[in-house]
Amino acid sequence: MGTLRVILGDQLSQTITSLAGCDKSRDVILMCEVWDEATYVAHHKKKIAFLFSAMRHFAHNLQKAGYKVDYTKLDDGENAGSFQGEVKRAIARHSIDRIIITHPGEYRVLQDIETWQETFGLPVEIREDDRFLCGLDEFRDWAKGRKQLRMEFFYREMRKKHGILLENGNPAGGQWNFDAENRKPPKDGLDIPTPHQSRPDDITSEVLDLVEARFDSHFGDLHPFHFAVTRQQALNALDQFITQRLSQFGDYQDAMIQNQPWMFHSHLAFYLNCGLLLPLECIRAAENAWHRGDAPLNAVEGFIRQILGWREYVRGVYWLKMPGYGDENFFAANAPLPEFYWSANTKMNCLRQCVLETRKNAYAHHIQRLMVLGNFALLAGVSPAEVNEWFLIVYADAFEWVEMPNVSGMILFADGGFLASKPYAAGGGYISKMSNYCDNCSYQVGKKNGPKACPFNYLYWDFLARNRAKLADNQRVGMMYKTYDRMGDDKKQAITDDASRFLKSLS
């Protein structure tokens, strides 16, 4: 008798806890591509191809390392279409006396796994996912008794715990956070390196053919396909970021340039979130670059904060708030998601560019997601459920544990301030400052009202006016109501009329 060790598609690390203590002569590693996971939302074609290819490469490498791997492809004739169905079939094929799996990333998957012991009559061990640098119990202990959680304080504790960017126990450079230095607008003549690209091999080509045949109706462009799909390729992507992009990442991490979707960002979330890279190795690589003098502290600290601070923080919030987090709707927003989030058919150039790049790459960087795509959904009062589903569908790095807190908490303030201290709402001036999108827009960002005015301008004030009862006491927003109150009645009415006209036009 042996153990069935189940590895999910976002657990592609040979150090995953479900493999610890594996007896290669008796134990079976189960991996499966299942229809339920590929279609519970209609994932971007590139996302499905990326994960299936990475899974197949990982299984191949496990076999080379001497593991006994039972792998089910999506188009295998007997594929049961679900995790539970594939586990049942594996138990029938092999002599199994227990099941081991690492804690999944998503609540709905955990709910399924927790039924397996009764369903199969076998002991099921769910092991902690120690790829994360803060355990779930540890995060719950940190959050206990706090009315509001703030990532900055959590981040400082993680820095101390793991000894990151410290000098004699104090923060390197004399401060914990250099975010104020990381908000430079784009300038002419920036030399932006080509992003890391991997050439599809036979395994990937087979997956691409499968996705083209089985998921043709899904959103997004499948080709060209250049994702890293192996551990070595992901390490190459990390090395290329450290050597070519990190030095400029800090200064321009908030900048947006038309036809430059990748900017100086790392594009490593794809590989972190599926397990090909580990958080601590990315953090140490950046820290070492600073020690060598290859990257400035503001860039290195900003990159590390995204992983050690934000990524760990949102995972903790997700598990703390589930299962009801996706139902929270502080502003009672119920508008449908505008059609242009799929088609890019809008005269607002910033939104058009971000949707086009998302469709092409299954990627947009964090300011495009937060301050363009997310900001519009917030101001327009779009239903959190629809916005969450869209973000989960379109981005190849999106799993619910990381997507939902970013959307419901950060973008939409749907949790009423549990995660973020204020709604990240902004008018067109912010987008104009941080991008060149406004140069090629049908609207004029300098106009505040009327048919030619940038819709972000009047939608921003209309959002504040509509939600005054819920936001007036927020210290970070309250000052804007003083500005609003100084406006004349004609100005306020123009804001209401313009917003109403524009929002009606979306339907």
Q: Where among 321, 349, 383 does a domain terminate?
A: 321
407 to each of 329, 351, 364, 371, 378, how far by Cα in Å?
11, 17, 14, 12, 10
CB 356 within 8 A of CB 388: no
**Would 203 be classed as within a structural domain?**
yes
List of long-range contacts for 66-70, beta carbons under 8 Å, 24+ apart: 66/24, 67/19, 67/22, 67/24, 67/27, 67/29, 68/24, 68/27, 68/28, 68/29, 69/28, 69/29, 69/31, 70/28, 70/29, 70/30, 70/31, 70/94
Per residue in 155-184, is it b (16+ CB within 10 Å) or e — as a string?
beebbeebebbeeeeebbeeebbbeeebee
pLDDT at 478: 85
- In this structure, the answer to whether residues 24 and 107 fall within a common structural domain is yes
Cβ atoms of residues 119 and 84 within 8 Å = yes
- Cα–Cα distance measured from residue 356 to residue 235, given in angstroms and rounded to the nearest whole number: 28
The answer on 257 and 400 residing in a single domain is no
Q: List, edge to edge, every strand of the sheet that includes 96-102.
A: 69-72, 28-32, 2-6, 96-102, 124-127
Is the separation of the CB atoms in 58 and 65 below 8 Å? no
Residues 370 and 476 grouped into a single domain: yes
Q: Is residue 334 part of a domain?
A: no
Closest by alpha carbon to 122, among 79, 78, 88, 85?
88
- The CATH number of the domain holding residue 310 is 1.25.40.80
pLDDT of residue 147: 78
Q: What pLDDT tens digit does each residue of the chain (507 aa) get? A: 899 999 999 999 999 999 999 999 999 999 999 999 999 999 999 999 999 999 999 999 999 999 999 999 999 999 999 999 999 999 999 999 999 999 999 999 999 999 999 999 999 999 999 999 999 999 999 999 887 889 999 999 999 999 999 999 999 999 999 988 888 999 888 999 999 999 999 999 999 999 999 999 999 999 999 999 999 999 999 999 999 999 999 999 999 999 999 999 999 999 999 999 999 999 999 999 999 999 999 999 999 999 999 999 999 999 999 999 999 999 999 999 999 999 999 999 999 999 999 999 999 999 999 999 999 999 999 999 999 999 999 999 999 999 999 999 999 999 999 999 999 999 999 999 999 999 999 999 999 999 999 999 999 999 999 999 999 999 888 889 999 999 999 999 999 999 999 999 998
Domain count, the chain: 3
Q: Are strands 170-171 and 124-127 parallel, antiparallel or unpaired?
A: unpaired
The CATH number for 79's domain is 3.40.50.620
Both 199 and 61 in one domain: the answer is yes
Please say whether the beta carbons of 308 and 159 come within 8 A: yes
145 lies in some domain: no
Which among 264, 292, 321 is the end of a domain? 321
Q: Give the length of the chain.
A: 507
Q: Say yes or no: 47 and 177 in one domain.
A: no
Q: What is the DSSP letter of 312?
A: H
Are 263 and 352 in the same domain? no
Q: What are phi and psi of 17, to 5 degrees?
A: -65, -25
User: Of all helices (H) and strands (E), which one includes residue 317?
Assistant: helix 312-321
Distance CA 318, CA 142 (A): 14
The reported pLDDT for the residue numbered 182 is: 87
138, part of any domain: no
| Distances, alpha carbon 149 to alpha carbons 295, 371, 405, in Å | 31, 22, 13
In terms of domains, do 59 and 100 share one? yes
Q: What is the CATH number of the domain that holds 500?
A: 1.10.579.10
Residues 112 and 177 in one domain: no
Taking a C-beta distance cutoff of 8 angstroms, is the pair 450, 383 a contact?
no
pLDDT at 67: 98
Answer for the pair 453, 462: CB distance below 8 angstroms, yes or no. no
SS3 (DSSP) at 74: coil
> Could you tell me if 360 and 425 lie in one domain?
yes
Going from the C-alpha of 25 to that of each of 19, 60, 68, the distances in angstroms are 13, 17, 8
Q: Looking at the structure, tell me whether residues 311 and 180 fall in a common domain.
A: yes
- CB-based contacts of 221, cutoff 8 Å, min separation 6: 45, 46, 359, 360, 361
Is there a single domain that holds both residue 221 and residue 77?
Answer: yes
**Residue in 384, 392, 388 with CA at minimum distance from that of residue 358:** 392
Tell me the C-alpha distance between 220 and 161, whole Å: 41
Asked whether residue 380 is assigned to any structural domain, the reply reads yes
Asked if residue 355 and residue 315 are part of one domain, the reply reads no
Q: Which domain holds residue 49?
A: 1-131+194-227
Helix boundaries (H) for 323-446: 340-343, 349-361, 366-367, 375-379, 384-394, 400-404, 428-434
Rounded CA-CA distance 387/335 in Å is: 10
pLDDT at 42: 98
